[in-house]
Copies of this chain bind each other. A is one copy, B any other.
């Protein structure tokens, strides 16, 4: 049973409003869980191993709630294409390669290594339709020490031939992965119908039965852009809004037995009021992906409205719609987009603050991972997911308060040419 205590400049949130700051404080970790945060060292810590991070920032790890692992190789290219071109030329073309063992091993090894080095401590990940590649990805993630949900994607219609499964195989392979990865501790399967246009009603029925049988969480895409919403309308005239196409199969926060179903919906840029209300009622999580919504010209999600309605908003990179794996860049972009929404769309909707955005990426997203254990806060009993940041690589003449240093680190993380993320702990285990 390991007991460690970290010394440094501790900065964390008890609420979305403001940071708690402790200069040269102590963060005690007992067997992978937060024991407590302390201003003074006292003898009760004598059996803890002290790690001295003096003058470095000690902050909660960041959670990326929507990222496509197989799209990692082409992030940051062809960003001038429109969404449909981009999907065909890049996403679908790339995902077809994940039948080849040599290729998917090389690509996923790079992805896992980059994610391990990043500010992300936990993630909810889309793979491809391919069983073997997805299992390999899950095994590599388990080795990395990161905590993740990984979804084999389901697609049995309106997709390129090589990415179209039979309904039976799609369901069987999904079940196979669930059984085959039961031994993994930090890597769990998640149901991942790609999005309504790519899934038949029969497939959705099958996924519903898997959800009920294994009590699996769900992730998908919702109301990302206007053309997509029109397509769903034409495919499902019976559904009076997009989310209904998931909800009728018990895959939108609540099962048809009225049991909770952990559900993460990416984007929700153009959700109508009824859809928003259902998200709030069913406790559905939103994976807000501002960089992707920018790059793919989707629009700006009305995040302040969602918060007012009590919807659980989290933050995500959405690689490769989003070009970076840096959750710090996503936090900055979420704030910037909320400022544009305030200026250009609705000046009654106050922009997000830095603490609000940081809270979404830690405490709120942490709730989605509670099937593993509590995470996302520096509170007793929570998993010790921690970043140690070295902001001395960003010289300044100013003597900044701890929370300003964290804000500055988030904004300038792109300027860091060395160091930056100095150490990273997940469940109390030091990854580097």
Chain A residues with a Cβ under 8 A of chain B: 73-80, 103, 106-107, 110, 114, 117, 294-295, 297-300, 323-326, 329, 332, 335-336, 339-340, 342-345, 351, 353-354, 395-398, 400, 404, 407-418, 420
Contact residue among B76, B335, B396 (Cβ-Cβ distance under 8 Å from A407): B76
Known contacts A80-B354, A415-B325: A300-B397 contact under CB 8 Å: no
A345 B343 Cβ-Cβ under 8 A: no
* Chain A to chain B contacts (Cβ below 8 Å), 7 pairs: A76-B412, A77-B404, A80-B354, A295-B336, A297-B339, A340-B340, A414-B414
For the complex formed, measure the closest distance between the CB of A356 and the CB atoms of chain B, giving whole angstroms. Answer: 9
C-alpha gap A297/B298 in the complex (Å): 20
A411 B300 Cβ-Cβ under 8 A: no
* Residues of the B chain whose Cβ atoms lie less than 8 Å from the Cβ of A407: 76-79
* Residues of the B chain whose Cβ atoms lie less than 8 Å from the Cβ of A397: 73, 103, 106-107, 110
Known contacts A344-B299, A344-B345: A79-B417 contact under CB 8 Å: no
C-alpha gap A412/B79 in the complex (Å): 12
B414 A335 Cβ-Cβ under 8 A: no
In the complex, besides A323-B412, A340-B344, 14 extra interface pairs with C-beta distance below 8 angstroms are: A73-B397, A74-B398, A77-B400, A77-B407, A77-B408, A79-B407, A80-B354, A107-B397, A117-B417, A295-B339, A297-B343, A340-B340, A416-B417, A417-B420
Contact residue among B75, B340, B353, B414 (Cβ-Cβ distance under 8 Å from A413): B414
C-alpha gap A340/B413 in the complex (Å): 24
C-alpha gap A36/B418 in the complex (Å): 35
A411 B340 Cβ-Cβ under 8 A: no
C-alpha gap A397/B108 in the complex (Å): 10
C-alpha gap A79/B339 in the complex (Å): 11
* Residues of the B chain whose Cβ atoms lie less than 8 Å from the Cβ of A418: 417-418
C-alpha gap A418/B416 in the complex (Å): 8
* Residues of the B chain whose Cβ atoms lie less than 8 Å from the Cβ of A411: 75-77, 79, 323-324
Give the residue among A117, A404, A417 with the most B Cβ atoms within 10 A: A417
A294 B414 Cβ-Cβ under 8 A: no
For this chain, the copies found in one complex come to 2
C-alpha gap A404/B323 in the complex (Å): 13
Which 6 pairs across A and B sit closest by C-beta, in order of nearness? A414-B414, A76-B411, A297-B339, A294-B336, A76-B408, A323-B411
* Residues of the B chain whose Cβ atoms lie less than 8 Å from the Cβ of A73: 396-398
* Residues of the B chain whose Cβ atoms lie less than 8 Å from the Cβ of A114: 415
For the complex formed, measure the closest distance between the CB of A418 and the CB atoms of chain B, giving whole angstroms. Answer: 6
C-alpha gap A77/B401 in the complex (Å): 10
B299 A110 Cβ-Cβ under 8 A: no
* Residues of the B chain whose Cβ atoms lie less than 8 Å from the Cβ of A342: 297
For the complex formed, measure the closest distance between the CB of A222 and the CB atoms of chain B, giving whole angstroms. Answer: 18
Q: Which residue of chain B has its CB nearest to the CB of A72?
A: B396
* Residues of the B chain whose Cβ atoms lie less than 8 Å from the Cβ of A340: 294, 297, 299-300, 340, 344
For the complex formed, measure the closest distance between the CB of A266 and the CB atoms of chain B, giving whole angstroms. Answer: 18
For the complex formed, measure the closest distance between the CB of A422 and the CB atoms of chain B, giving whole angstroms. Answer: 12
Q: Which residue of chain B has its CB nearest to the CB of A400?
A: B77
Known contacts A295-B339, A396-B73: A300-B344 contact under CB 8 Å: yes
B110 A396 Cβ-Cβ under 8 A: yes
Give the residue among A294, A329, A413 with the most B Cβ atoms within 10 A: A294
C-alpha gap A75/B110 in the complex (Å): 32
Contact residue among B75, B354, B415 (Cβ-Cβ distance under 8 Å from A326): B415
C-alpha gap A415/B75 in the complex (Å): 11
